[in-house]
A and B are shown apart, each in its own frame.
Chain A
Amino acid sequence: MLLLQVDTALIIEKVILISVILMGSLGIAMYATWGERKVAAVMQDRLGPDRAGPFGLLQPLADGLKLFFKEEIIPDRSTRFIFILGPCLAMLTALMTSAVVPWGPDYTTATGHVVSFQVADINIGMLFVFGVVSLGVYGVMLGGWASNNKFSLLSSIRAASQAISYELALGISLIALLMLTGTLSLREIVAQQHGFWNDGYFSWNFFKQPVGFIIFLTCAFAELNRAPFDLPECESELNMGYHQEYSSMKLGFYLFAEYINMFVSSAIIVTLFFGGYNFPFMDKVAAGAGPMLFTIICILVLLTKVVCMILFFMFIRWTVPRFRYDQLMKLGWRSLIPLALINMLVTGVLILWVFKK
């Protein structure tokens, strides 16, 4: 009879890892808000926040404190339970995706114990990410619905249809990638992109699937509700969008969830297309440095890539003007989905007939 072997050390290890990742993503999201304001300032020849602490580094704390102290208003005719559930769901789904990202290579201690820097190595990692991303729409949808406000409802309907439309192209663009890798496990996808150069070609998936990457990136922007696709939050035509009735920290949760989403999706993009924690000449570094140092370098490399990706998201936001809703739908249904389908077919043909895997 097979009993579930519960390893106490494993549980402690995972709890520590989960708390570190949670705190880390919250911290990075916090400073992403600061970074966004600084990036916006640089783009517009301004100084940006510089009052709170050196270089305004305490600004996110001040913002958070302010949101906590604001009056909490729950509209009279709202559906109270769902109204509170909305921001919770947005936050929950934002944080859940980070569970399957491999943050570093396995580290073997002197006693032969293997420490994994991935919370859960599930063999359907990508599918899990898709599931959670689809759930993310519920946070927006429920919040907009429960507010009992026409503008919120319209905005959340827009958000939902936008997310569903772009999820199609997102999924199809990834099928092409998954045909190459042959696995859904993020851990294996990263392991396949080992180093930078392998068998006479770049090992990172970005160089194997450039079209897929562009489609994935565009859809990621749409899924994140970020500019140029920030239609759910529209000051001009729908007042504030789906979180119009929200105040205090519940509003903060919605805004914060966007930044956590940005961090986690940057991590996913880096994992899928830019080799995760892999970097050029990593074998030589691994031979030179100790295993402990090597693991730390790998984690830092991954974080650097993620930060670069976040900065790219911000640069795009302050560069590209926003799409109109019909343009958004046209781009999604008439350009990205056919392009993703063609990309998928071409990849399949190449794999079957040219490379004969």
Chain B
Amino acid sequence: MAVNWAERVSVFSSSPSRVLSGTTAEALLAELLRELRDDRASYSVKVLLLSPICEYPTLLCPSESAGEETALELMSVFTQCPPKHVQFRCHLLLALTSVLVCTSCVSNQSRASQDYLDLLLQVAQDTSDLQGDCALRLLRATACDCLRELEACSPGLLSQHLELLAGLRLREGSRLHQAYAGLHTLVLRNAVYQLTQEAGAGAEHLKALLGGNTTVAWEAGQNSGLIKNKDSMHLSSLILGPMHTTPTLQTGPDCKELRSVLSSLLEESYLLTPLCQASLLYRLTEVVAMVPGVPPSVFRAQLLRLLGTSEVSLLHATLLMKCAFTDSLFSAEDEAFILKRLVVLSQHPLLITSEKLFYMDCILHFPENRPISCSDGDESLPVLLTPRLASALLPTVFNDSATMLARLNLLSLVYLEEGEEGEGEESGGLAYLYEHLNSLLNIVEHGASREINVTFFRAAFLFLFYFNHVEHYANNLIEKLCKLYLRHTHLAPQLINLADQTQDKLPESSWAVGLLKALLQAITETSLTQLNLQDLSQHLKMLARMAEEGEIPQHSTLRFLSSVITQSSASLCMNGNWRLGNSLLGICRRLLNHPNLDSLLIPLADILQHLACNYGDTDIQDHARLYYTLLTTLSREKLVSVLAQGLREGGRQVKKRTLSSIMAESEGLTSTLTIHRMDKAVFRLVEAQSELNTETHATKDTDQNETVDGPDAALTAYRAQFEDPCFASDITLNYQLTHLTTSDSRFDQLFSIRLHITLTDDHYEELSDISVPCLFRERPTPKVRLRLKPRRPYPTVLQASAIFTSQDGLSWLTVLPDIHVSFQQVFKPPPVPSTWGRSDKLSLFEGLWDEVNSQTGEKDLVDCATSLFCCQLKEDALAALVEKHFLPFLLSDPADKEEFKVLFFLPPHSHVLLKIKSEEDAVHFNITTDSWQLLPHISSYLLTITTSQDVQE
């Protein structure tokens, strides 16, 4: 059967969940492994097959044991693969590394990971490729990288091999020395780190470690070097700026051995690719930072070369070195030079934008020799960055938007300091920045692209963020924005967003209110005759936002509204545009809540009355009438409290919420009418104890009766039942709906829960929704029965979502954790007539068994299959297993320990028959089924239950 693996693998890589919804991870993994062992498959396909294992090892091997087994499989594939398939063998090593690391086999030092480590060390030392093909060397390089990754994930793993690795590196003359060097430095760094964590470790330990004498290096009792920290500190970088302390190893000044290792590594660093060089320098920086006995000057010989480099990673490594060693390696002149260099690089014509942005970021987090503030993580300017120096980075309209914003941000910081130092707000720099903002505004004014519009508003926000206190610029900007808005009313959402964000991020500033006030004036002064519908709807959006500001007097708003509905065009009212009406009402509703409502009363009432009488849409009329009534009949206090109820998050009683929702046209009503999406699940379905056991026990009593004669008759009678297509065609799964432990008190009491179950494959019929009246955290959990109607009785995953109402009357949509229906959940005892006893059932068993096994049956037997599953089980273990898993399906006498006969019925009409017998060497599970497609599921089921039995023993 030709399977298009290339396509399957690419579908899996882009969306594993989609693939796994149609099959199990286990089955897919088994399939992949089988194909990998298949001699007929080409090696290029086999390389493809490894990519799911490389990329998603935890999906395919969910447990450590699964990882362990997969790794053993892959290792045997590796040993059997002819050496010439280098690419495939390399990818095999990568897959093995991924599997063993991700399933925690490495950190738990499992058997397979030990074997794998030995294999890697062996490959890494195997220099037989020297004479052979150059391509073969790739395998050695890959092995080194795998070792490096293992060491990176489990620091200390290779510290016993430090001397070996040092030797390999020194001896290697080909390009591969780079791989050894990377590995060696990482192991060295981790080993030194390990020593710093040991009390009393000192110079001798370090010496012993470098000499490969691990028994001395590690104190008794700690035979393996693996760092056992549970926290992640040991994986973390050690160079984190002035606020962090680096663990140190006190060695005294004499660290000859370490020094000689360091200088040898540094000497050859030039031979590495820039990326590897940067990593090497970084790791060595960490080592030297941990061992105060070695002066940072070991790096000095490399510095000039590094400072002149065009490679971003090398210069970055140098900056990190500066962060670690400050003035013990870098003089004040060096510091000034580096900073100037960063400024140059931030605008260098030969660099790509991301690199320039990165260098600007480095300026804002410059590792100063003597930092004044210890602000960790925040952007701050280095003292040496003078306005003169920074002026090279002034933003211009020719910059791309990210560069422009980055420059604006940096220069704003520069002039902010300058302004604060008393040179006055009139500094030329600030004037330039404002002029620049104006140029952008001019571009927007002439109708620019969306991207430029967005950039302008971001720039405006940045400018305000730093300079909102500089009044004449801030005011001038308001003026300009008003003009801009009148020309381009479609910018309303951007202006509202700008007002929102400045109000939110700059709570002390009143700029946003100022802007809104000015816009209000601008809007209300426009001539209505020139107003088109589009502009009007944008204006109304703006007015609604302004109406939320208690500080803004709203008389002009009302005048404007009144003239819109009365004068501008009667047609507007008559048209009865619902959206427009709703926008009008939205403003009115906000005004009802306005602190100066008293002075607005009459004009507002007039407007509402006019709408109620004349607007061309009934819904709008009704709402206007309601508002009018509220306004004219309720006292101010009541009105406020009614409206406030609508606005407040979660009123006390559900009824209040609904009432006030009607008032709160735009927010309240929409929030009650909308179904809110939930970020995380609140409850889930937990599988309840099956009722099968009790059922079988109940039928025990009728064991003695015999109602049919012989297997054939039993089979016929049994089959006859299935003429009704609905007969025994479904399974019922019992679940309990329970809260998840995360406590959000809003969701302690839930009502009207409607569960919607979605299938992820077509093995089952669609399910109808299920209603649960309520779910309270403190009360017993409600039961939920899922009636699944299989088309094919395979394991599946169900996706569940629920809509419910919370206590405050809001509706929510939440996604429940997926429900996994396992294969054994589909099992049912055979649906025999209730009058049948055990012997009848046994007859049925024999009948089915014989039919499948005799090839002469009249029925079409193409789907039938037999199989044998063997495993090692002691007699009592077998009995326990039968008792635990098969009791409801056991047809033979439980007392009969010779042979167990088990019959699973899988709706709609599949059967699996087991005859279980202890033979001398193993327990044999003879399997017979009338649906061969079930065989992989059966064997994986049997494998699971028999191996878990092993574990129990």
Q: Do A and B bind each other?
A: no
The interface of chain B, by Cβ under 8 A from chain A, is: none
Instruction: Write the residues of chain A forming the contact surface with B, with a CB cutoff of 8 angstroms.
Output: none
